[in-house]
Structure 1
Amino acid sequence: MGVEAVDGRIAGERGRLINIGYRLLGSLVEAEDAVQEAYARWYALPGARREEIASPGAWLTTVTGRICLDVLGSARVRRERYVGAWLPEPLPGCVGDVADAVVLDESVGMAFLVVLETMTPAERVAFVLHDVFRYPFAEIAEVLGRTAAACKQLASSARRRVSAAEGASVAKGASVAVDGRAELVRRVKTAWEGGDVAALVAVLDPAAVMTADGGGMVGAVLRPVEGGARIAQYMVAIADMAPGLELVERPVNGLPGLVALRDGVVVTVAAFDVADGRVSRIWVVRNPAKLGPWAGEG
């Protein structure tokens, strides 16, 4: 098979690699950079070497995985210096260009991505490649530079983290009806717009937690707000200090969420998790650097 034919085959791998990269890194921008770097390394190979590679897709997956592993290692250091909480980049339900390639299923729900953040880089790679994308441990071993048995242990450890994560809905998120989630989010929106603390308290779990990510670039609470009553009071206070915002219902990472717009521009994206018929977690992303995919969503 000629080099041109092989290169034609790998063109269709980009979407799959973006999907892997986003789940590994929680950042669409970093996922795209990792995939671009993998393709750059492919084209840097001599033509004869490329022809020798039996499965270019597997080669690209291995290289992309290794790049993401390196990024995850350096990200831990960067996030220690991050102002406030770090949250994954939220994705809208319908966008163009790169984000359009990301399949919005339960493995990109904000709750799931937040749990992935608790894993070591090696655990995350092993878990995502095996449990989400069904790669065999023998191939994952090539990415991590470990034995297949060691990779299996890493995935098992990651699974325990998911099972032990606060909020059992993370593990069974797919079983929660989208209609039920949408209704709860709608009630949050109505109460928030009306400044109705009591109505917000009624829809929030008493042990609910709200985490905000402003990245030091815009105002956001630096530590999680805990307790339904405190969250309700905080939300109403924030609404009073930011008049002119328009709240709209939008899918966030494939699940019902809320978006705040100012003059038609998305300035805040809120994702939700639910448990026992109430909102149990709220993740609010305000860092403008993470809202690029939302341009034009107003």
Structure 2
Amino acid sequence: MSDQAAATEAFVAHRNLLFTVAYEMLGSAADAEDVLQETWLRWVKIDAAEVRDPRAYLVRITTRQSLNRLRTMQRRKESYVGPWLPEPLLTAPDVAEDVELAESVSMALMLVLETLGPTERAVFVLREVFDFGYDEIADAVGKSPAAVRQIASRARKHVDARRPRQAVSASQTRVVLESFQRALESRDVQGLLDVLAPDVVLMSDGGGLKQAALRPISGADKLVRYIIGGLAKTGAAFTAEPAVVNGNPALALHVEGEFDGVMAVRVEDARITGLYYVRNPEKLTRVESETPLTRR
């Protein structure tokens, strides 16, 4: 087998893993694809005979390119119109079956990861999600293993303080989401209040291309008035369909029969504490076909 063929085979074998690493670090499928292209261009220039572990080496390149990309994305986010939400992905059933992977790519946890610094995010993702060793992570982020241990501990505490207190199964989330869907479609005010936590927060992302709340909306009463008022104002036919987005139950929303966006949720104690509505059409290109994600 030629060096080029061997390089291609190794890259293809680990491509889904590399995409998952990049996506978890960036929250953007489009940017993750760009990182994979950059990873490939660097990978084919390497002498394969010097690489003992192609998987670890490829992850190292992907991590470094993702860190570079994060700095560019930060400038874009600073000028973004309204709240910035991760790009939703339509995922296969096997992603939902991997509980740890499904949680790590959930909209709620991806937003928590947004509150970490670039290096902290890379270390957390590689250690907590993909179970890489401290030495491997140190090579990827350009830090000593001792420093990586400290960063990992700090990042873990930061995330644990902000993630849902209790794990909620997909079936439990689906039950809550079905109640929300029924109340939404029937414009049932009390039904919405029953399924929403008092301190629920809605974040909607239109990116300046679609109408969306420019700031998060907090509180069940305020949120229900916003939802019911918005539906009454448009007068348009509105429907919702179950979907599996980022490994978790979600809703695909349609207005007058046209696909309008994706709504993901965060559920705690059988009520919705977070609603994440992505309407930006530039972020909805990966909900038409399944995106394979993997931790292996």
Distance in 2 of aligned mates of 1:141 and 1:179: 38
- Counterparts in 2 of 1:33-112, with a 5 A limit? 33-45=34-46, 49-94=47-92, 105-112=102-109
Q: Residue 149 of structure 1 aligns to which amino acid in structure 2?
A: A
The alpha-carbon deviation at position 268 of structure 1 amounts to 1.2
Q: How many residues are paired up?
A: 282
The alpha-carbon deviation at position 32 of structure 1 amounts to 1.3
Distance in 2 of aligned mates of 1:250 and 1:228: 24
Stretches of structure 1 that go unaligned for 5 or more consecutive residues are: 96-102
Stretches of structure 2 that go unaligned for 5 or more consecutive residues are: 94-99, 291-296
Aligned-residue RMSD, C-alpha: 2.0
Distance in 1 of aligned mates of 2:146 and 2:259: 46
The alpha-carbon deviation at position 120 of structure 1 amounts to 0.2
Distance in 2 of aligned mates of 1:182 and 1:258: 10
The answer to whether 1:193 aligns with 2:185 is yes
Aligned residue for 1:240? 232
- Counterparts in 2 of 1:23-38, with a 5 A limit? 23-38=24-39
The alpha-carbon deviation at position 187 of structure 1 amounts to 1.1
Q: Are the equivalent residues in 1 in contact too, given 2:90–2:288 (CA < 8 A)?
A: no
Distance in 2 of aligned mates of 1:91 and 1:83: 21
The alpha-carbon deviation at position 104 of structure 1 amounts to 5.5
Q: Are the equivalent residues in 2 in contact too, given 1:126–1:151 (CA < 8 A)?
A: yes
Aligned residue for 2:274? 281
TM-score, reference length from structure 1: 0.89
The alpha-carbon deviation at position 52 of structure 1 amounts to 2.4
Aligned residue for 1:168? 164
- Which stretches of structure 1, 4 residues or more, deviate above 6 A after TM superposition? none
Aligned residue for 2:151? 154
The alpha-carbon deviation at position 265 of structure 1 amounts to 4.1
Structure 2 CA distance for partners of 1:52 and 1:179, relative to 1, 3 Å: closer
Aligned residue for 1:8? 9
For CA contacts below 8 A with separation 6 or more, give which structure has more relative contact order.
2
The alpha-carbon deviation at position 263 of structure 1 amounts to 5.6
Match of 2:114 among 102, 112, 117: 117
TM-score, reference length from structure 2: 0.89
Distance in 1 of aligned mates of 2:32 and 2:205: 19
Q: Are the equivalent residues in 2 in contact too, given 1:245–1:260 (CA < 8 A)?
A: yes
Aligned residue for 1:292? 285
The alpha-carbon deviation at position 6 of structure 1 amounts to 4.6
Distance in 2 of aligned mates of 1:148 and 1:251: 37
Post-superposition CA distance 1:147-167 (Å, at most 9, x none): 1111111111111111221x6
Task: Please state whether the residue corresponding to 2:259 is helix, strand or coil.
Answer: strand
